Chain A
Amino acid sequence: MKNIIIILVVLIGFSAQSQEKKDKNAKHTVAVNGNCEQCKKRIEKAAYSVSGVKSAVWDIESHKLKLIVNEEKTSVTEVKKAVAKVGHDTDEVKATEEDYTNLHSCCKYERN
């Protein structure tokens, strides 16, 4: 009986710890594939369309999308999905063939 109580306490202790406070200004850097100035506008616009994204800046040279996300409202995965939906591959979520084909010719980056 004592063992069960100890195990329960430990479990509750662990679960309490894993309930971290959500970061309202979480910084994330996501690799997003794209080519030109037009892509930057499309990628950032897609990121902003997700409620909870506070700041989204995509750098053409490094292909990195710097995000500040309010994790109480949304998650980075949601943002990646939104970016993939407009045709740009991210590290986790890839764009469908259809969305990629709809891109403007200058934006058709190389897909591996």
Chain B
Amino acid sequence: MYKQIVLLLLVLVACDAVAQDTLKAVKIETRRKSIKKSYTVTANTTVMTSQELLKAACCNLAESFETNPSIDVNFADALTGTKQIKMLGLTSPYLLIAEENIPSVRGASQAYGLSFTPGTWVENIQITKGAGSVVNGFESISGQINAELIKPANDIPFFLNIYGDSGARFEANAHANVKVSDKWATSLFLHNNLRLSKNDMNHDGFLDNPLAKQTNVMNRWQYTDAEKGWVSFINFRYMDDQKQTGQIDFDKKRDRGTTNFWGSEINTERLDLSAKIGYVFPDMPYQSIGFQNAYNSHNQDSYFGLNQYDIRQQSYYSNLIFNSIINNTMHKFATGLNFTYDRYNEFVAVPNTFGNFDRIDNSVGAFFEYTYDNTNNFSLIAGGRVDNHNRLGVFVTPRLHLRYNPWEKAVIRASAGRGKRSANIFAENQQLFASSRAFDILNANGKIYGLDAEIAWNYGLSFSQGFKIFGRAADAGFDVYRTDFQNQAVVDLYASPQKVLFYNLDGKSFANSLQVEFNYEPVNHLNLRTAYKYYDIQTDYLSGSAERPLQAKHRFFANLEFKTHILDKGQQWKFDVTYNWLGEQKLPSTMTNPESERFAVYSPSFSLFNAQITRTFSSTFEMYIGGENIGDYTQDRAILGSSNPFGANFDTSIVYAPVFGQMYYAGLRFKIK
């Protein structure tokens, strides 16, 4: 009997062992999407991961948005080639652009600030449409962009990226990282870009792209003590950027300040120091305190022909945030104090405006934000802040976000909020210095360059639904936003082609935008993204209500990406094609110019193509080649009055299409892990 039991047990064990042998391990691989849209995040936020950032030529933050339908990338002016971005039809001054939640592109750096952060430093970018969170400030009106940089604790030991393009632009990025101890890690990022040769493809006598040189260095330190709950980041950053543009024969040593040839130089030097400390209470992971401090010094010396513009800004920003819950994690709140200080030294020398516009801005504020999440299908974020600003007065900023999931894979979001800001009219409209326009500020009784603060309300509604077509994942949705300006610093280019008028809004100014999106993955690894955008943006100018200039009413965007399977050693091919169609744009009035120096009232509509192929040879080495504006579409005439740049009809700011034709580029990325 005993022997029988033992035999039975042995047989059972043997069977079990055999059964285990035949069970094959099943590995589930989830592919991370490069643009992450969530059904559960309350605000209308999409996250662009580093994978998405690699899809375009993408040398700096300004060029990172080419494949994103929510942001329109435009062409700023015929000279500096700096790409401007717009969200909901409004330009970047109406966005809060932050780096690791510290406002970065603002004030003096508004025009070129996005080109001062190299693309390889960025880990991901969070893009929020509509009123943002009160925790970050009161200035955002149409959206928030937050770029997170690569953290030293997660970084790889070495990274190298080399890039070159047919416009004679060369870039090199090198990152090094050391884990100094189990708590401290440090990274050093170096960036250098150069354009040393002169291009004039449209033969108007002017450089199509500026001669440029930029050096950018960042050193980051991260302290992490997970047991005790402390995290800290300390950053040191220095940047030097030099651009020279204008006529090809311009010699900066010989012709500056003369009327021999027209030229421009924009030289910027910038220093940033910041420190963040975070403490998470060890027993209470939902409770934490964060303290951010940032100092920066920005110095730009520039001239545009005989116009001169120098601006120096020193800023200090401090934010103390306490996060916790009320009863349980369904009810969270964040509260804190915020202090900002800005000192501007500005010198402007243009027709009709000459002199120093020095000022100091400071503000103290307190904020409170409550988040409710029923962990099922509804959440809301209600926030408010009170600020005391020496120029904007004492004011309240309310913000509200709602999210509701009515049924499976569907989400409805709504948002409303107010924003208030000082319009830095010169820094934000620098492209107008490269023209013969005279600058006039009308009724200058206010506190900010004689004007009043800009105040706007933003409302939005969005809906998104995921579904299947032929068994494959797809999603579609729309969003509508309206921005209503209670007051605006109106920049009037319609009064006369020889003038720019700045005045407080008298009447209505609004921006309505509609975006309809459809995304589909018809075949494994093949992703299609499409979006149609409609904008209706009007302002009451002195001459009557009119569309804002250089804004297309209709835009269409499509992006198709295809990736092959990642093989054993990490080999992969990636293909990417982006198509953009822009409808006609209203142009600033040039009717009073002599006939040869006139633009039509509306620009033509046109299409642009970009494409890129990436070959990953292994997990440590990849190469890429691509083309921008492959259809070679350029604006017929980029510069008005190019034959007489010191005359009355010179204007380089009316740019509605690419100035530089087709551009091809190639690069490589090398990592040591």
Contacts and interface: CB of A to CB of B under 8 A. Distances in A.
Q: Do A and B come from one complex?
A: yes
A45 B325 contact: no
A44 B375 CA distance: 8
Contacts of B284: 25, 54, 68
Most chain A CB atoms below 10 A, which of B284, B328, B329, B330? B328
B376 A54 contact: no
Contacts of A32: none
Contact of B328 (A27, A41, A48): A48
Nearest to B330: A48
Most chain B CB atoms below 10 A, which of A27, A51, A54, A55? A54
A45 B329 contact: no
A83 interface: no
- Give the size range of A's interface with the partner: 10 to 19
B327 interface: yes
Contacts of A48: 328-330, 375
7 nearest A-B residue pairs (beta carbon): A25-B283, A55-B329, A41-B376, A54-B328, A44-B375, A25-B284, A48-B328
A48 B330 CA distance: 8
A53 interface: yes
A16 B283 CA distance: 25
Interface of A: 25, 27, 41, 44-45, 48, 51, 53-56, 68
A44 B373 CA distance: 12
Contacts of A27: 283
B375 A54 contact: no
Given A27-B283, A41-B375, A48-B375, 13 more contacts: A25-B283, A25-B284, A44-B375, A45-B375, A48-B328, A48-B330, A51-B327, A54-B325, A55-B285, A55-B329, A68-B284, A68-B285, A68-B286
18 contacts: A25-B283, A41-B376, A45-B375, A48-B328, A48-B329, A48-B375, A51-B327, A53-B328, A54-B284, A54-B325, A54-B327, A55-B286, A55-B325, A55-B328, A56-B328, A56-B329, A68-B284, A68-B285
Contacts of B285: 55, 68
Contact of B286 (A41, A44, A45, A54): A54
Contacts of A68: 284-286
- The binding surface of chain B is classed by DSSP as loop
A53 B374 CA distance: 14
Interface in B272-317: 283-286
Contacts of B330: 48
A57 to B, nearest CB: 8
B404 to A, nearest CB: 14
A55 to B, nearest CB: 4
A48 B374 CA distance: 9
Contacts of A55: 285-286, 325, 328-329
Nearest to B282: A25
A79 to B, nearest CB: 11
Contacts of A51: 327
A93 to B, nearest CB: 20
Most chain B CB atoms below 10 A, which of A53, A56, A68? A68
A70 to B, nearest CB: 9
A68 B285 CA distance: 9
A10 B591 CA distance: 103
A4 B379 CA distance: 63
Contacts of B376: 41, 45
Contacts of A41: 375-376
B288 to A, nearest CB: 13
Interface in B325-342: 325, 327-330
